[in-house]
């Protein structure tokens, strides 16, 4: 997560850090293309074992060296009880993890991807089986950078900031 922040903050220095005589360099400088992540898991799934999959590309080229692809899955309204799975590279920039849905429901998944110094995290809604929509709990969790694994650390950092 830190790396992601650094790369974000480093950009202004690259853009504004050079003198006037370097404007041409700026225009022709190679800005790294954004990493793109496409969740390939179908929206409609059956109860049982399912393959969660995401394809990582950069500038139309497959990315087989992603530092981390983590799948976060949770039932709508119960993100706290969700799971985090490590995606494994198969081929052509496709990272997968097996996950078992044991009952019908509406679920959500994030593909938390760290690659080439960037963090991308697409989200997708999954419908497993035939859930009774009147009983589905609305999901109010945020789309922010709260990562199950680093929540505690982020919390500490926030508290420190507020202490000043
Ligand atoms: Cu993320």
pLDDT digits (tens, 9 = 90+) for 39-56: 999 999 999 999 999 999
Q: Look at residue 150 in the predicted model and tell me its pLDDT.
A: 45
One domain, residues 6 and 66: no
Would you say residue 155 lies in a domain?
A: no
* Residue 164: predicted pLDDT: 45
Residue 2: domain span: 1-31
**How far, in Å, from the CA of 52 to the mean position of ligand 1?**
16
CA of 8 to the centre of ligand 1 (A): 14
CA angle 145/148/153 to nearest 5° reads 75
Asked which of 45-54, 63-72, 90-99, 151-160 is least confident by mean pLDDT, the reply is 151-160
pLDDT of residue 80: 95
Q: pTM higher than 0.85 for the full model?
A: no
User: CA nearest 146: which of 70, 40, 36, 39?
Assistant: 70
**Whole-number Å distance between alpha carbons of 132 and 64:** 39
User: Is 63 among the domain residues?
Assistant: yes
112 CA → ligand 1 middle, Å: 4
Asked if residue 126 and residue 95 are part of one domain, the reply reads yes
- Each residue of 25-36: pLDDT tens digit? 555 667 789 999
């Amino acid at each position: 997560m830190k790396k992601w922040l650094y790369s974000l903050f480093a950009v202004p220095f690259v853009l504004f850090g050079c003198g006037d005589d370097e404007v041409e360099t700026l225009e022709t400088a190679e800005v790294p293309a954004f990493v793109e992540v496409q969740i390939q898991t179908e929206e409609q799934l059956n109860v049982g074992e399912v393959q969660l999959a995401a394809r990582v590309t950069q500038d139309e080229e497959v990315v087989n060296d992603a530092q981390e692809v983590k799948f976060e899955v949770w039932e709508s309204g119960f993100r706290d009880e969700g799971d985090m799975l490590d995606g494994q590279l198969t081929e052509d920039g496709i990272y997968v993890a097996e996950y078992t849905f044991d009952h019908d429901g509406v679920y959500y998944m994030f593909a938390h991807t760290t690659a080439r110094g960037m963090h991308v995290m697409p989200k997708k809604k999954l419908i497993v089986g035939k859930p009774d929509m009147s009983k589905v709990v609305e999901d109010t969790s945020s789309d922010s950078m709260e990562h199950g694994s680093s929540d505690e650390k982020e919390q500490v950092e926030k508290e420190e900031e507020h202490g000043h």
